[in-house]
Amino acid sequence: MTEAKIGVFICDCGGAMKNIDFPTIKGELDAIADVASVNLSSDLCLEEGRAKMLSCIKDENIDRVVVAACAPQLKEHVFQQVLRSAALNSYLMSMADIREQCSWAHEGDVTTKACGLIKMAIGRARLLQPVEQKDLLVKQEVLLVGGGFSAMSSAIQLSRLGLHTTLLVGDSALGVRSRELEELLGLEVAPMTEAIDRDKNIEIVTSAELVGMEGTAGNFAVRIRKGGEEFVQSFGAIIFATGPRTEILPQDPGSKSSTRIVSQERLARWLRASSPQPRPRSVAFVFDSSDECSRLPTLVTLNNALAVKRSWGSEVYVFCKNVKVDSEGAEELYHQARERGVVFLKFEDSPGISIEDGLVRIEAKDVLLGQDATLTCDVVVAEEKVSPAAGTDDLRSLLNVRTDSRGFLQDDNVHLYPVASERKGIFFVGDCRGDLDAARIVADVSSAVMGAHELLARGRITVEAERVKVDPQKCRACLTCIRVCPHSAIQLVRIDSEREVAEISDLACDACGICAGICPAKAIAFQGYSDEQILAQIEVLKAS
C-alpha cells in the first residue's frame, strides 16, 4: 500500500474555541510525515470554507481527510459531500470533535488535548479504506401471515402500491375472527374479503402454516406447510399479523361452565341473534382484575354494555379496577354508557363470583363508596384475558427475534416502534404485538406497508458493499458471529467442497460490529471501526 496523503482541516468555529492555540497545533501536525497539508479555517462548514477545502483536496492530491471541528453529528454529512465532489470516497474521512468534546467541555488551555484528538483522527484516517455502494436485487413479493383485519388491509394497501402479496392464513378462510368483531369495530368484513378475492395481486393460502424461514431481507426463503405437504417460496418482506388470543379467566372453578357466566363473544352472539328468553333483567361485566392488558376488554365491555342497554334494556353493572380509556373515542363511549345508566363499580381486589339459586352473586368492595357491594345478576360476562396468539413462541424462535415482557411479538425496545423488528424486512402489525385498538391497528398497517414498499418498490436496493466483511480465509466456521448477530444478518455459505464460512448480508447488516468484537478468529473487518483503526487511536496515548 502506498503511503497515504493526509489533508487536515481544522476549524476554530469563528473564534469560538479561544482556549485552543491553533498555530501550535498546526506546527505539530505539519511535522507528521504523511500529513500533506494542515489548513486552519474559521468557517469550514460554510460555502466559502468548503470551497477552499475542495480545492485543497484536489490541488494537493489528498486521499485521506481529517476534519477537526464541531461534533460530527452536526456537519459530517456536509464534509462527506465535499469529499464526493472531489471524487473521493466519503469513507476516507475521519473527524475529531474539538469543540463539544474539547474546547467547550473543559476550562483552561486545552491545546494538548485538541492536538491529541486530531492525532487520533489522523491515526484512524491513515488506515481508512473506501466503501462502495452497490445495488442488490430484491424479490417484489410480500408474505402476510394471518387472516384477520390487519392482514387483509395490509394486502389491499400493498396491492394498491403494485406489490404482489400472499396471505398465509391458519384458518380455513379469511377473516373468521374479524367477522365476530365486526360489530365492535364497526367495519364490514365481507367487502374486504371480496375485494381480496378479486385482486390479482393477492394470493390466498388457507389452512396453512409457516414452518421454516431462511435468508435475509429482500430474499427470504419461506417453508409453508399445507395439507401435509411442504413447499418453499421466496419473499422480499414478511408482515406478521397473527393477532391475539383471548382466554376467559376462570372465575369460580365450580361455575365455569354455567350459562349464567358467559364470554363476551357468547354475549355478542346472543345480542346478534338468539336472545335468551326471557331477556336478562340484569347483566354484570367484570374485567381488569389483574390490571393487565385491559385496554381491549374495556372497549369490548363498553360496546357490549351499551348494546345490552339498547337491545334488552337490562340493568347493567360493570366491575373493574380501571376503565382503560386511552384509545380513540373510548372516553366518549364511557360517558355514553354512564349516561345510559350503566353503573360502574371500581374494586381493588378481584370480586368473588358464585352461583346462588340460579343467579350469579358478585361480591366486591367498591373503593369509591368504600363499601362492600353485593349484587345478584341474571348474567355475568366474565373477565377475558388478552394474550399472545397460540404459536407465537414458535414463531419467535423460527424468526430468531425477541418477544416482549408479556410474550407478544416485537421486543420492548423503543427503537423498534411502531412496527419494525430487529430484522430488516420483517414487520409486526396489529394485536400480535400488543393490545392495540382498531385505530392503532390501522396506523400499524399503513406503517408496515410503507416499510415493505421502501424495501421493495424498485426491485433493487442500494446498500454499502462489504462494510462489515468476513475474511473467508480466516473464518473457522465456529458460528459465534451467527449466534450473536442481533439482526440475523450472517449465514453460513459453502465456498468449496470442503469449506463453509460465515457471510454477511450487506442488506440485513445494520453495522453494529458486535460480530467483529466477538469473532475468536478475528476474521471480521468493519470498515471505519476495524481493530487496526480503533487501536490506531489508542496508540496516540503513548505518543502524548
Partner 1 sequence: MSREIIAFCCEHSATPAANLAGRLGLHYSENLRLIPVPCAGRVDVVHILKAFEKGAAAVLVLGCEDGACHHIEGNTRARERVRYSRTLLEEIGIDGRRVGMFNLAPDTPHKFLDIVNETNETLKELGGGK
Partner 2 sequence: MDPHVLVIGGGIAGIASALELANAGLTVHLVEKEAAIGGRAASLCCKATDVCSECSVCVVAQKIREAAIHPRISLLTNSVVRRVSGERGDFHVEIAEKPRFIDPERCIACGVCAELCPAEPKAVCLPSAEAVPFSYVLDERLCLRSRGQDCDLCRESCPTKAIEFEPAGRRRELTVAAIVVATGFEVFDARGKGSLGYGRYPNVLTGLDLEETFNREGCLRLPSNGKEPRNVAFVQCVGSRDESHGYCSQVCCKYAVRLARLINYQIPDAQVTIFYIDLQTAGKGFVQFYEECREKVRFVRGVPVEITQTPSGELEVKLENISQGKASRELFDLVVLSVGIAPRKDSWDLASILGINLGDCGFFDTSEPLNSTKTNVDGVFLAGTCQGPKDIPDSMGHGMAAASKVIQALGVQAR
Ligand X SMILES: Cc1cc2nc3c(=O)[nH]c(=O)nc-3n(C[C@H](O)[C@H](O)[C@H](O)COP(=O)(O)OP(=O)(O)OC[C@H]3O[C@@H](n4cnc5c(N)ncnc54)[C@H](O)[C@@H]3O)c2cc1C
For binding to partner 1 (CB under 8 A), which residues are involved?
71-73, 97, 99-108, 110, 113, 116-117, 120, 402, 411-415, 422, 484, 486-487, 510-514, 516-518, 526, 529, 531, 534-535, 537-539, 541-542, 544
* Residue with Cβ nearer partner 2 (438 or 507): 438
d(CA 451, CA 420): 8
Residue 126 interaction partner, one of partner 2, ligand SF4, partner 1, none, beta carbon < 5-8 Å per kind: none
* Residue with Cβ nearer ligand X (329 or 472): 329
- From residue 260 to residue 299, the character string flagging contacts with partner 2 as x (rule: CB under 8 A) and all else as - is -------------------------------xxxxx----
What element of type H or E holds 159?
helix 149-160
Residue 475 interaction partner, one of partner 1, partner 2, ligand X, none, beta carbon < 5-8 Å per kind: none
Closest CB 522 distance from partner 1, rounded Å: 8
- From residue 143 to residue 162, the character string flagging contacts with ligand X as x (rule: CB under 6 A) and all else as - is --xxxxxxx-----------
Cβ neighbors of 228 (< 8 A, separation 6 or more) are none
d(CA 34, CA 181): 72
Cβ neighbors of 496 (< 8 A, separation 6 or more) are none
Q: Which of 11, 25, 102, 184 binds ligand X (CB under 6 A)?
A: 184
Q: Does 303 bind ligand X (CB under 6 A)?
A: yes
Q: What grid cell was written down for 379?
A: 348474567
d(CA 114, CA 99): 9
Cβ neighbors of 246 (< 8 A, separation 6 or more) are 263, 264, 265, 384, 385, 386, 387
Closest CB 323 distance from ligand SF4, rounded Å: 44
Closest CB 536 distance from partner 1, rounded Å: 10
Q: Which of 125, 171, 131, 124 is nearest to 148 (CA)?
A: 171
Residue 140 interaction partner, one of partner 1, partner 2, ligand SF4, none, beta carbon < 5-8 Å per kind: partner 2
Cβ neighbors of 197 (< 8 A, separation 6 or more) are 204
> From the CB of residue 492, how many other CB atoms can be counted at a distance below 10 Å?
12
Q: Cα separations (Å) of 254 from 264, 288, 380, 445?
A: 20, 21, 15, 42
Residues that bind ligand SF4 (CB under 6 A): 468, 470, 475-481, 485, 487, 489-490, 502, 504, 509-515, 519, 521, 523-524
* Residue with Cβ nearer partner 2 (7 or 49): 49
Q: Does 383 bind partner 2 (CB under 8 A)?
A: no
Closest CB 97 distance from partner 2, rounded Å: 14
Q: Cα separations (Å) of 227 from 167, 208, 231?
A: 16, 7, 11
Residue 480 interaction partner, one of ligand SF4, partner 1, partner 2, none, beta carbon < 5-8 Å per kind: ligand SF4
Q: Which of 116, 123, 244, 351 binds ligand X (CB under 6 A)?
A: 244
Q: Which of 32, 136, 187, 271 binds partner 2 (CB under 8 A)?
A: 187
Q: Which of 27, 46, 275, 407 binds partner 2 (CB under 8 A)?
A: 46
Closest CB 142 distance from partner 2, rounded Å: 10
Q: Does 203 bind partner 2 (CB under 8 A)?
A: no
**Coil, helix or strand at residue 248:** strand
| Bridge partner residues of 361 (DSSP) | 354, 376
Written as one string, the DSSP assignment of 481-504 is HHHH-TT--EEEEE-SSS-EEEEE
* Residue with Cβ nearer partner 1 (29 or 56): 29
In three-state form (DSSP H/G/I as H, E/B as E, the rest C), the secondary structure along 165-229 is EEEECCCCCCCHHHHHHHHHHCCCHHHHHHHHHHCCCEEEECCEEEEEEEEECCEEEEEEEECCE
d(CA 6, CA 50): 17
What element of type H or E holds 242?
none
Q: Does 115 bind partner 2 (CB under 8 A)?
A: no
Binding site for ligand X (CB under 6 A): 145-151, 168-171, 176-178, 181, 184-185, 209-210, 241-244, 246, 264, 296, 299-300, 303, 384, 386, 389, 391, 430-431, 437-438, 441
